[in-house]
């Protein structure tokens, strides 16, 4: 057998991709499985974005670009940060990458030394801890259950910070919980971070636009604490807002020296993101934004139905969310009642086998006893899936 690097042992394959693959395999065997694992909108990429990409191909825009993105796309990102977030960046403060995933990967590689600690609120996006481990650093998980709306408190944050902490991650609205921190909550977290000047902050705003209360402006920690700007990275991308997951474009805005270091890492791994996708992302950021409203209205309707129906199932408690296309019900009561089911991993197994519904167990996101449902699938699928869960619950 071939000897592999130790770092391969240190990380897990993505649990969300695994459940999607499992559902696909069962379907290939002829089983009727409704997949609620998807981490991407079920809408097509808008036509004007596709048209921009097609024109880019036809005009021969198919070669290397600058590593950190084309001047035009970086300008579109700068304009976006100004327009939507009130943040001002220069061209040397922006890095365009192959998805938000690479933005965070670059940050971890650029910032972390072996033994450095990274504070990650749990439930978390599955990739943060593993990307930290790939940088030989140590994920420090701070647990926030349903009783605190899955949001960490300032005291918890203070308790997790040490002189080894290099990075704190905030993801709001959150994958998997759908919860968003308020301005006041971010101000309180920021107040704690003021006492730890060596700590860099990453705010992952990937779900910025997928929120229900649009009369309230989106806020991240820099809106609440502008003084933290010199040590905060704002991570975002076009994947979720414009249903462009396959195009692989994410971007980061932040302090010049960190962006420069991230660019250096990217320059020796992928180089520039795909030239064609960059043109498409520019069209997404600069073009009409009405697609987002249409998608968000659809998600909100599905959210309301799913949360209501889930809460009628004895043993399941589901908080309404602030946004994203996930809900994160607590199922401890149901787990107790189902025969042979002792935890959320076994619940996921049970539901895929007995109910033909693929969900992602909460453990994958660092919180046992819960599970994640993606509402990025047709209302018919969703209603059927929840009915199937209700039926196995009623039989237990």
Residue labelled with tokens 């975002």: 236
Q: Tell me the closest approach of the beta carbon of residue 171 to ligand PLP, in angstroms.
A: 5
Specify whether the CB–CB gap between 396 and 338 falls below 8 A: yes
Which residue, 201 or 338, is less far from ligand PLP as judged by CB?
Answer: 201
Longest dimension (CA), the chain: 62
In angstroms, rounded to a whole number, what is the distance separating the alpha carbons of residues 281 and 97? 11
Smaller CB distance to ligand PLP: residue 212 or 325?
325
- Preceding peptide of 176 cis, ω within 30°: yes
Residue with tokens 């994410």: 250
Q: Of the two residues 322 and 350, which places its CB atom closer to ligand PLP in the complex?
A: 322
> Smallest distance, Å, CB 185 to ligand PLP?
18
CB atoms within 10 A of CB 23: 22
Residue closer to ligand PLP, measured from CB, 323 or 356 = 323
CB nearer to ligand PLP: pick between 356 and 362: 362
The distance of closest approach from Cβ of residue 63 to ligand PLP in the complex, given in angstroms and rounded to an integer, is 23
Residue in the shown chain whose Cβ atom is closest to ligand PLP:
99
Q: How many CB atoms lie within 10 A of CB 260?
A: 14
Minimum distance between the CB of residue 203 and ligand PLP, rounded to whole angstroms? 11
Cβ proximity of 379 and 305 under 8 Å = yes
- Cβ-contact 342, 335 below 8 angstroms: yes
Are the C-beta atoms of residues 193 and 199 closer than 8 Å to each other? yes
Residue 135 beta carbon to ligand PLP: minimum distance, rounded to whole angstroms: 17
Nearer to ligand PLP, 212 or 247 (CB): 247
Residue 318's closest CA among 358, 281, 369? Answer: 369
- Nearest-angstrom CA–CA distance, 147 and 197: 31
Q: Return residues touching ligand PLP (CB under 6 A).
A: 39, 99-101, 125, 171, 175, 204, 206, 237, 239, 245, 250
Q: How far is the CB of 227 from ligand PLP (least distance, A)?
A: 25
Residue 351 CB, nearest distance to ligand PLP (Å)? Answer: 22
Q: Which is nearer to ligand PLP, 98 or 338 (CB)?
A: 98
3-state SS, one letter per residue, for 211-236: ECCCCCCCCCHHHHCHHHHHHEEEEE
């Amino acid at each position: 057998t071939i000897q592999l690097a130790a770092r391969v042992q240190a990380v897990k394959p993505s649990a969300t991709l695994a459940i999607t693959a499992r559902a696909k395999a069962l379907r290939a065997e002829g089983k009727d499985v409704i997949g609620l694992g998807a981490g991407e909108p079920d809408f097509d990429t808008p036509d004007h974005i596709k048209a921009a990409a097609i024109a880019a191909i036809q005009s021969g825009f198919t070669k290397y670009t600058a590593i950190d993105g084309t001047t035009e796309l970086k300008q579109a990102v700068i304009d976006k940060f100004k327009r939507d977030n009130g943040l001002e960046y220069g061209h040397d403060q922006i890095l365009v990458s192959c998805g938000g995933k690479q933005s965070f990967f670059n940050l971890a590689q650029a910032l972390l030394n072996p033994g450095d600690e990274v504070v990650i609120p749990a439930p978390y996006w599955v990739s943060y801890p593993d990307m930290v481990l790939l940088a030989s650093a140590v994920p420090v998980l701070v647990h926030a259950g349903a009783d605190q709306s899955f949001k960490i408190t300032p005291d918890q944050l203070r308790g997790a910070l040490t002189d080894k902490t290099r990075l704190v991650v905030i993801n709001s609205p959150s994958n998997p919980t759908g919860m968003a921190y308020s301005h006041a909550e971010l101000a309180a977290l920021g107040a704690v971070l003021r006492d730890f000047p060596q700590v860099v902050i990453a705010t992952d705003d990937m779900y910025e636009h997928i929120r229900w209360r649009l009369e309230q402006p989106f806020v991240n920690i820099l809106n609440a604490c502008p003084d933290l700007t010199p040590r905060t990275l704002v991570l975002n991308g076009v994947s979720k807002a414009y249903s462009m997951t396959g195009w692989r474009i994410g971007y980061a805005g932040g302090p010049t020296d960190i962006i420069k270091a991230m660019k250096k890492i990217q320059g020796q791994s992928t180089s520039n993101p795909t030239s064609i996708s960059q043109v498409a992302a520019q069209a997404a950021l600069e073009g009409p934004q009405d697609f987002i409203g249409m998608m968000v209205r659809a998600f909100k309707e599905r959210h309301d139905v799913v949360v209501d129906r889930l809460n009628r199932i004895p043993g399941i408690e589901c908080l309404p969310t602030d946004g994203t296309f996930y809900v994160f019900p607590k199922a401890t009561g149901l787990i107790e009642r189902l025969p042979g089911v002792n935890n959320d991993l076994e619940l996921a197994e049970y539901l895929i086998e007995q109910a033909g519904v693929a969900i992602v167990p909460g453990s994958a996101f660092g919180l046992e006893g819960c599970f994640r449902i993606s509402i990025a699938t047709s209302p018919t699928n969703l209603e059927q899936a929840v009915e199937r869960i209700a039926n196995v619950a009623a039989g237990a």
